[in-house]
Structure 1
Amino acid sequence: MLPQLSQLKVIAFDADDTLFVNEPYFQETEHKFCALMEDYLSHQSISQELFKIEIGNLPLYGYGIKGYILSMIEAAMKISNNTIPIEVVEKIVEYGKDLLEKPIELLDGVEDTLEKLYGKYKLVVATKGDLLDQRRKLHNSGLGKYFHHIEVMSDKQVKDYSDLLKRLEIEPHEFLMIGNSLKSDVLPVLEVGGSAIHIPFHTTWEHEKIHHKVVHPHFTTIEQISEVLGFFAF
Structure 2
Amino acid sequence: MSVPHLTTIGFDADDTLWQNEQFFRMTEQRFVAMLAEHGEASQVSANLLEAAKRNLGMYGFGIKSFMLSMIETAIEVTDGRVPASTIAEILAAGRDMLSHPIEPLPHAHETVERLAGAYRLVLITKGDLLDQERKLAQSGMGDLFDAVEIVSDKSAATYARIFSRHGDGPQTSMMVGNSLKSDVVPAIEAGGWGIHVPHELTWAVEHAEAPDAAPRFRRIADLGELPTLVEAIARTG
What is the TM-score normalised by the length of structure 1? 0.95
The superposition leaves residues 106-129 of structure 1 with CA deviations (integer Å, 9 ceiling, x where unpaired) of 111111111111110011100100
- Note the aligned Cα RMSD (angstroms): 1.5
Tell me, yes or no, if structure 1 residue 61 matches structure 2 residue 62: no
Q: What secondary structure sits across from 2:212 in the alignment? A: coil
Instruction: Name the amino acid aligned to 1:77.
Output: I
Instruction: Name the amino acid aligned to 1:68.
Output: F
* Partner Cα distance (1:213, 1:206) in 2: 18
Question: Superposed, which structure 2 residues align to 1:142-161 within 5 Å?
Answer: 142-161=140-159
The Cα of 1:215 is off from its aligned counterpart by 2.4
Instruction: Name the amino acid aligned to 1:29.
Output: T
Aligned to 1:180: 178
* Partner Cα distance (2:61, 2:130) in 1: 12
Instruction: Name the amino acid aligned to 1:203.
Output: L
Instruction: Name the amino acid aligned to 1:207.
Output: V
* Partner Cα distance (1:213, 1:188) in 2: 10
Aligned to 1:165: 163
Aligned to 1:214: 212
Alignment size in residue pairs: 230
Aligned to 1:224: 222
Instruction: Name the amino acid aligned to 1:108.
Output: P
* Partner Cα distance (1:192, 1:212) in 2: 16
Aligned to 1:117: 115
* Partner Cα distance (2:135, 2:41) in 1: 30
Instruction: Name the amino acid aligned to 2:194.
Output: A
Q: What secondary structure sits across from 1:39 in the alignment? A: helix
Q: What secondary structure sits across from 1:7 in the alignment? A: coil
Instruction: Name the amino acid aligned to 1:133.
Output: D
* Partner Cα distance (1:110, 1:6) in 2: 25
* Partner Cα distance (2:187, 2:116) in 1: 22
Unpaired runs of at least 5, structure 2: none
* Partner Cα distance (1:217, 1:204) in 2: 24
Unpaired runs of at least 5, structure 1: none
* Partner Cα distance (2:66, 2:161) in 1: 26
* Partner Cα distance (1:116, 1:147) in 2: 12
Aligned to 2:132: 134
Determine which of 90, 96, 103 is the counterpart of 2:88. 90
Question: Superposed, which structure 2 residues align to 1:15-54 within 5 Å?
Answer: 15-54=13-52
The superposition leaves residues 175-229 of structure 1 with CA deviations (integer Å, 9 ceiling, x where unpaired) of 1000000000011111110001100000110000124553211111000101011
Judge conservation of contact 2:120–2:145 (CA < 8 Å) in 1. yes
Tell me, yes or no, if structure 1 residue 194 matches structure 2 residue 178: no
* Partner Cα distance (2:133, 2:75) in 1: 31
Aligned to 2:71: 73
Deviation above 2 Å: which 4+ runs of structure 1?
211-215
Share of identical aligned residues, percent? 40
